[in-house]
Structure 1
Amino acid sequence: MHTITRMLSVLLLGGLTVAANASSGKDGWQKRIPRCGPDTKVVKFIEYDEGTAPAGGTAVSIVTFKEKKKKGCWIDVQDLHPTQSAVGMGAAACKSGKITRKGKDGKLDEWLLEDNRWVPLVRGPGGRFYLTDHHHLSSAVYNADIPDKQKKLYAYLIRDWSRMKEDAFWRRMEEEHLTWLKSPDGRTISPKELPSRIGHLQDDPLRTLSAWVRGSCGYVKCNPPGVTDEDAEGTCPARYADVACASEYFLEFTWAAHHATVPEVQAALAEGGACSQQAPLDQECLDRQRAKLAQSLPAAMAAAAAPAARTKPGYNPKAHDGVVPPCE
């Protein structure tokens, strides 16, 4: 009898453990994620609509979280090859501080595993992995004060063009809007002029300013597909529902170029405002840059709402004040 009771207890406890693990998502899939390499498979896209497309628009293609977990991989940030020349180092530095705290609290891996932080990759000639989005997140991880072994990201492969010649590869990258071949000063560059590593990305203060204007709804960027009405509450598309939101490629860079034409912005950055990427980051330079950009934000917001900007994607004609986001 005691034997049967013990057996039933073990079975019951085992069932409860399985149920608890299932409910908390701790099924061990995280530990099975392989390193990105030649065997990494290309993910499958699905058509998604459910009202996320602009009025009269078409459904968008997305990669589900389930698919990312099934075919995804992890990659050392040092092995990523950028597809743009610069980031807003001020914005990246703020995110880097948050990552440092996550790392010290033992919560970084869990944070990076969230669906919206997986990075898309293209496998190019020589098996190199090219990053096509999340350059700011990658730069933040690179510059975070955490051990090198923690400086990795979770990724999914969207294209495998590893058998292409270099010229054909970059033509395809441009055709599919997977690279931004512009320098911070707006000059067109060749793929050979792109930085070879995340640690070589330049700083573009206008890109940081553009993020502030976007965050203040100076222009309206569409929410990602799959965002629920509850999650969308308070976002710019929800607050300005009568404004046509934009989902164009490299939207922030497009608006950064517009901010560059604003006299007050030009004056604020006249003596240079870029801060070189180094380890550790030059916080004094970033603080000076932040003060200059904060001073020019009202003019940038006004220019974003001016009639001269009405042809820009996400144009919001309703002028209002901008807010400098806190640096967490």
Structure 2
Amino acid sequence: MRTVTIMLSGLLVLGLAGTAEAKKGKDQGDAAIPQCGKNTKVARPNDEGIITLKEKKKRGCIIDVKALHPTQSAVGMDAVECKAEKISSKAKAGKLDDYLLADNRWVPMVRGPGGVFYLTDHHHLSTAVWNADIKDKDKKVYAFLIADWSNMKEDAFWQEMIKQHDTWLKDPAGNDITPSQLPKSIGALQDDPLRTLSAWVRGSCGYVKCDPPGAAKDDDELSCADKFPNVTCADAYFLEFKWGAYLGSVQEVKEALAGEASCSQQTPLNTPCLDNQYEKLSKALPAAMNAAAAPAAQQAVGTGAGYNPAVQTGIAQPKHCK
């Protein structure tokens, strides 16, 4: 009996040691990703031009969303509300870090003059982290550097950003803006209802966007690129804004957005405004889907924008977060 007890005690010690070692390994793995700063190196794409998750973890960094500078003027706050809700839920379950470490949630950045970090994608994710019900110290994202133009003069830097399609210099009304008119922080991004509607149309395959490398699907459903293999999918820059501008010309959409439809307030998000906006845009969605399939859409958005001539039926109601 004494021998059995000793053996069980030994197994327990080994088990605890293994658990502690696993936790230590995880902590060390997280600690291996440094804070973003002057020593952050540009990530290197592989032979296929893809920056792998392994490379992101090797050269990437972690950054407070307050330190990120937007390269567009607006987001769809409806999507931000949903993402913020999910981030809050992940944090409460102790799974936020794993969620943000997923391959397709790393934020691409450019280092500009003065060492300022400009995010070139994932504005919605970053804004959701900003607005999530989590501690301020946890409002961070994992990021990787795609270019270092910190030695450039300000004007030359923005010319390069425009050339590389790393900025969208239009306001929610579609008017041209200058780089100096961009929001100075994530918390100052405006709401663009047309960006929200455009995302809904894309989600219902009204136009087809290519699946990005490393995309993590939330379910087992086929993507629009899978469902419509004969449609040339688009990986065009700022595709949703381009389609949003076209959808804004649809009469039913104009009527839905008559008056003040924007909900730009952050921390906290303006939930009553977003609820009202959701109802208006939901009613305009069928007309927007029909407009997306019309020949006029292809002429308006141009080639390489994922135009899908198939008229969609049985359009699902967009997810609404409260």
TM-score by length of 1: 0.87
Q: Secondary structure at the match of 2:137?
A: helix
Deviations along 1:290-311, one digit per CA (max 9) or x if unpaired, are 0000010000000000111124
Report the Cα offset of residue 40 of structure 1: 0.6
* Aligned pairs, number: 308
The two structures, once aligned, show a CA RMSD in angstroms of 2.7
Partners of 1:29 and 1:69 within 8 A in 2: no
Give 1:198 deviation, angstroms. 0.1
Match of 2:281 among 293, 296, 300: 293
Runs of at least 4 residues off by over 6 Å = none
Q: Distance in 2 between matches of 1:265 and 1:129?
A: 36
Deviation at 1:324, TM superposition (A): 3.0
Distance in 1 separating the partners of 2:273 and 2:138: 27
TM-superposition CA deviations, 1:209-237 (whole Å, max 9, x none):
00000000000011113569xx9861101
- Is 1:94 aligned to 2:82, yes or no? yes
Q: Give distance in 2, aligned partners of 1:226 and 1:123.
A: 23
For the residue of structure 2 that corresponds to 1:181, the secondary structure is coil
Deviation for aligned residue 1:271: 0.8
Is the 2:70–2:182 Cα contact (8 Å) retained in structure 1? yes
Which residue in the other structure is 1:162 paired with? Answer: 150
Question: For residues 226 and 326 of structure 1, what CA distance do their matches in structure 2 show?
Answer: 24
1:318 lines up with 2:306 in the alignment = no
- Shift, 1:21, TM fit: 4.8
AA of the residue aligned to 1:104 = K
User: Who is 2:105 aligned against?
Assistant: 117
Distance (whole Å) between structure 1 residues aligned to residue 320 and residue 290 of structure 2: 23
* Partner Cα separation in structure 1 for residue 74 and residue 42 of structure 2: 27
2: CA distance between counterparts of 1:169 and 1:254? 24
CA contact (8 A) 1:80 1:198 kept: yes
CA distance in 2, matches of 1:39, 1:144: 29
Q: TM-score, normalised by structure 2?
A: 0.89
1:191-210 mapped onto 2 (5 Å cutoff): 191-210=179-198
Look up the match of 2:133: 145
CA distance in 1 between counterparts of 2:84 and 2:251 reads 31
The alignment-based identity, stated in percent, is: 59
Aligned residues of 2:209 and 2:224 also touching (Cα < 8 A) = yes
Q: Which residue in the other structure is 2:66 paired with? A: 78
1:233-272 equivalences in 2 (<5 Å): 234-272=222-260
- The SS at the match of 1:297 is helix
CA distance in 1, matches of 2:221, 2:278: 29
Q: Which residue of 2 aligns with 1:58?
A: none
Specify whether residues 232 and 94 from structure 1 end up closer, same or farther in structure 2 by C-alpha distance, changes over 3 A only.
Answer: closer
Q: Does 1:217 align with 2:205?
A: yes
| 1:136 aligned counterpart, secondary structure | helix
- Extract unaligned runs of 5+ from structure 2: none
Cross-structure match for 1:180: 168
Is 1:105 paired with 2:109?
no
Q: Which runs of 5+ in 1 are unaligned?
A: 49-60
